[in-house]
Structure 1
Amino acid sequence: MYPVTPTHTEELLKIIQDSAETSDKLPDTTAIQKMIDKHAGERDEMLEGVAYYLNQADIKKRIRYFYKHGVKVVDTDKPNNRISHNWHKLLVQQKVQYLLGKPITFNAEEERFLEVVNDFIDEAFDDCMQELLKNASNKGKEWLHPFVDEEGNFDYLRIPAEEVIPVYDSTKKRSLLYAIRYYDVKNIDDELTRKVELYTDEQIFYYVEHEGALIQDFDYKNNPESHFYDTKGKGYGWGKVPLIEFKNNEEGVSDLIFYKDLIDAYNGNISNNANTFDEMQDIIYELINYSGEDLAEFMTNLRHYKAVAVGEGGGFNMKTAEIPMDSSNTHLDRLEENIYRFGQGVNNNPDKVGNSPTNVAIKNLYSLLDLKANEAERKFRPALSAFFWFFTEYLKMTGQGEYDPTLLQMTFNRSRMTNELEQVQMANQSTDLSRETRLANHPWVEDVEAELKRIEAEEAEYSNSMPPLTEIETGGDEDEPKRD
């Protein structure tokens, strides 16, 4: 059933419609400002994932209080350990290195197309893919901006998701109508100035905030700016908005939201235990029939005179705090197990993995991480296809050939721990399979084609090094008649 509450896109379109000066296609500056203001909450949620990745969990903000005469006062005397455990970074790095630790392999039936793609894909592109997945895992999404640089070369730029407000159409195709990017820069007086960019399918409009309102940014010679220019200085547009969304999952949310409460509970328990350990150094005095007027007098007499005055039947006892360590450790172990479970990660504790696990056990160990990686890969594939649409359009415009980006095949080479001995034995025993298939499943072989060429070269070298066979060794001439 269609939800009763409006979607995010419908809310943005409503803002545009409510703006009196808005055209049928693009929002005016008033509508843009309203969308930026509305985006603040979503931006904060994205940056929370980044903060946890940088080990700045909520425990770092904890303040201890006490009540004095019914008033809440910050307690600066009590121990306030704020110990943060970077579970989120661990789980995100596991996911990134598992899915993109090895470069994506591209393939195409048309050799020239594949050659052009492989020439373009380099280590910088592989690094960009990892950054896209890392930031999408933290924020729920990240953006890639393809463009043609001043020298006429095709290039790309990663844009932080917290800076982008996309507006899609309301059809099932969900094509991007336009996107707004906003960010702050420091001016000459070291003050922050808000810059705003509006990306359409043909141009880019630039604005700057001045006295609380958006105005045209005159720092740009051409405003609006075309997406790219030919050698004669004529501007052109891609025909599509040059921003590509790389989503983390279907909901476009951070991985953190699925286990944040567990991390906070873990940090809180460890920090509370540390506070208790610190406080155990202080002795608690239980006073009975104390004859003094206040506690300050008691502490003074105890410190200076090593004695205190008590009434008839009075006295005092000394006590220290104790931590139920067994219960605490059990609770922490359960939290750790649930962090891995709901974070869909791999707990590589030797007690869990064992000394020599079978590949079946390893596959089961990686089952949750596989589910999470599958979801991210499913969202990255169409995003990469959209990126290579811009790349093939550039190739066509520059006369380097016309290619269909949908025919480009992508293989995500996952990095999984394996039992190499078991895998090698299975490959050697599978004699009914082709040599190429066995090599593809050998743990030491990274490039099957290169390995096949090396094997052929070694076999040819071995054959050339062998002396020619004599007639006796070959059985003689079969046509020669036998003598009695």
Structure 2
Amino acid sequence: MYPSEPTQTEIFNNIIKYGNKPETLEEMIIRYIKEHQKKIPNFEIGQKYYDQEPDIVRDPPSKDATGQVDPLKPDDRLITNFHANLVDQKVSYLVGKPLEFKYLDNKVIEQINLALGSRFDDKLHSVLTGSSNKGIEWIHPYIDEEGELKFFRVPAEQAVPIWKDREHEELEAFIRFYKLDNEMKVEYWDETFINYYVYDNGSLIKDYSRNFNDKQTHFSTGSWGRIPFIPFKNNDAERSDLFMYKTQIDAYNRRLSDTSNMFKESNELIYVLTNYDETDLSEFKRNLRHYGAIKVSNIDGGVDTIEIKVPVENTEKYLKMLYDNIMLFGQAVDFSSDKFSSAPSGVALEFLYTNLNLKADKLARKTKVAVQELLWYVIEHHNLKVDYKDIDISFNYNKVANTELQVQMAQSSMGVLSHETVIENHPFVEDLEAELQRLEKEQIELNKQVGDIEEGSDEQEESEDRKSR
């Protein structure tokens, strides 16, 4: 697993060193796809837990002492949505509010926002949810038939990156494979060309359905000069958040389900039979239900009962311990905590967000790198005269805050900080540029009203002067 995997350059060097027959391009593609397919279960498991399909729903039914499944035995499979809640909390905390781009020239920012479109923030939210579930997700910039730059989300299951380096920072090539019309389509991308294949009977053949026999450039008029697939990584290890607390969730679901099953059986009694003259227990149950009586073999025979008691108190403590562990290992903010009932503010509120900040900051760093790379395509396509590295990217963390305290701090900062800085950090302001434009418009209207009043006052004074003469 990364970062111990060999790079493609190292693989080629080993082929040369040991004198093995070099692979053809098609053989290499097949090898990479087979290696990638082994990782797909790790991608899918995070998504399954997010979709409320944890392991417990796929566990085989419980069996009796004879090894047979008892259809009458309660077998509840209660599940929780811890993983979905934790992922949604982190992603919404990070990009629940739109990203903010800053540059010296506001016209450049306007062009970037227009190029990204109104749906970009929603797409980013979906991509980061996917990377949190799988460890990595991809965006593919492409130019559509009308010449417009668009962005397509590529699931991690379909994406096979070939990296140049151990840090997974630069792509050597990229393979995408997917099913379409009952065929396995395979694409091999390098910095200039795309090879299209169909995977059939363990080998690759050219995809002639695309009406060309050779390589194709990235778009009709040329290529990007780089591989147009952008990784959105969840963390350095490219691993799902699920593995931080999966065993705790499984234990919680199992104990919750076992408790439910015990409650369903708790109304029944365990019968202790002494000198019962029948050996068939089902016959005993029928006689008891039908006649309300049973026969015993001698005077020493009889029936005692044992009542099943559910250990509710111990179960509550155990579930509470698991819940606390999930919140801790998931680096979450527990809004059900009684600490929020006292309306914490200032340092106390920041302390409650400490773990979530740590987790979100890791994702923010990876996301910033990916969005910067995405901006390169925007700038390149629209021929903007700016270096994409000079565009500042800011995340507006969607944090619960003491609004009254923030307003008071903003008011007390007037005259100490610039007017723009105070407005930017005011809790009621979501779009700084829009707010500044509204203030400017209000100021123009106010100046106009003041001018009209002064003009009217001057006319009144002139009229009075004429009358006095």
Q: TM-score, normalised by structure 2?
A: 0.89
For 1:78, the equivalent position in structure 2 comes to 73
CA contact (8 A) 2:2 2:166 kept: no
CA contact (8 A) 1:144 1:243 kept: yes
CA contact (8 A) 1:12 1:35 kept: no
For 2:244, the equivalent position in structure 1 comes to 258
User: C-alpha separation between the residues in 2 aligned to 1:238 and 1:4?
Assistant: 27
| Distance apart, 1:53 and its partner CA | 0.5
Distance 1:19 1:339, change over 3 A: farther
User: C-alpha separation between the residues in 1 aligned to 2:423 and 2:377?
Assistant: 35
Distance 1:461 1:197, change over 3 A: closer
Is 2:416 the partner of 1:426? no
User: C-alpha separation between the residues in 2 aligned to 1:215 and 1:317?
Assistant: 75
For 2:283, the equivalent position in structure 1 comes to 297
User: C-alpha separation between the residues in 2 aligned to 1:116 and 1:447?
Assistant: 16
For 1:90, the equivalent position in structure 2 comes to 85
CA contact (8 A) 1:227 1:237 kept: yes
When structure 1 is superposed on structure 2, of 75-84 and 447-456 the one drifting more is: 447-456
For 2:134, the equivalent position in structure 1 comes to 139
Matching residue's letter, 1:218: Y
Aligned residues: 449
When structure 1 is superposed on structure 2, of 373-382 and 385-394 the one drifting more is: 385-394
Is 2:145 the partner of 1:150? yes
| Distance apart, 1:380 and its partner CA | 1.0
Distance 1:384 1:363, change over 3 A: same
Is 2:436 the partner of 1:436? no
Matching residue's letter, 1:89: A
| Distance apart, 1:85 and its partner CA | 0.5
| Distance apart, 1:31 and its partner CA | 2.4
| Distance apart, 1:163 and its partner CA | 0.6
| Distance apart, 1:67 and its partner CA | 5.2
Structure 2 gap segments, 5+ residues each = 459-469
Is 2:311 the partner of 1:321? no
Distance 1:63 1:304, change over 3 A: same
Equivalent in 96, 99, 111 of residue 101 of structure 1: 96
Equivalent in 368, 390, 396 of residue 407 of structure 1: 390
3-state secondary structure, aligned to 2:186: strand
CA contact (8 A) 1:141 1:253 kept: yes
Matching residue's letter, 1:357: P
| Distance apart, 1:95 and its partner CA | 1.1
Equivalent in 244, 255, 272 of residue 286 of structure 1: 272
For 1:193, the equivalent position in structure 2 comes to 183
CA contact (8 A) 1:280 1:321 kept: yes
| Distance apart, 1:99 and its partner CA | 0.6
| Distance apart, 1:441 and its partner CA | 2.1
User: C-alpha separation between the residues in 2 aligned to 1:73 and 1:323?
Assistant: 25
Q: TM-score, normalised by structure 1?
A: 0.86
For 2:352, the equivalent position in structure 1 comes to 365
User: C-alpha separation between the residues in 2 aligned to 1:211 and 1:448?
Assistant: 58
Distance 1:34 1:12, change over 3 A: farther
Matching residue's letter, 1:419: N
| Distance apart, 1:347 and its partner CA | 1.0
Write out per-residue CA displacement over residues 86-118 of structure 1, whole angstroms, 9 at most, x where no aligned residue.
111111111111111111111222344323212
User: C-alpha separation between the residues in 1 aligned to 2:434 and 2:352?
Assistant: 32
RMSD: 2.7
Distance 1:173 1:134, change over 3 A: closer
CA contact (8 A) 2:266 2:307 kept: yes
For 1:28, the equivalent position in structure 2 comes to 25
For 2:430, the equivalent position in structure 1 comes to 446
3-state secondary structure, aligned to 1:55: coil
For 2:11, the equivalent position in structure 1 comes to 13
When structure 1 is superposed on structure 2, of 164-173 and 98-107 the one drifting more is: 164-173
CA contact (8 A) 1:21 1:28 kept: no
Structure 1 gap segments, 5+ residues each = 187-191, 231-235, 472-484
Equivalent in 215, 220, 224 of residue 229 of structure 1: 220
When structure 1 is superposed on structure 2, of 100-109 and 453-462 the one drifting more is: 453-462
| Distance apart, 1:199 and its partner CA | 1.0
Equivalent in 50, 66, 80 of residue 53 of structure 1: 50
For 1:480, the equivalent position in structure 2 comes to none
CA contact (8 A) 2:276 2:301 kept: yes
3-state secondary structure, aligned to 2:142: strand
User: Which consecutive segments of 4 or more residues in structure 1 shift more than 6 A?
Assistant: none
Distance 1:19 1:305, change over 3 A: farther
User: C-alpha separation between the residues in 2 aligned to 1:16 and 1:182?
Assistant: 27
3-state secondary structure, aligned to 1:123: coil
3-state secondary structure, aligned to 1:134: helix
When structure 1 is superposed on structure 2, of 240-249 and 423-432 the one drifting more is: 423-432
Q: Quick one: percent identity of the two aligned structures?
A: 36
CA contact (8 A) 2:133 2:241 kept: yes
For 1:215, the equivalent position in structure 2 comes to 205
User: C-alpha separation between the residues in 2 aligned to 1:254 and 1:221?
Assistant: 40
For 2:157, the equivalent position in structure 1 comes to 162
Q: Which has the higher contact order (CA 8 A, sep 6+)?
A: 2
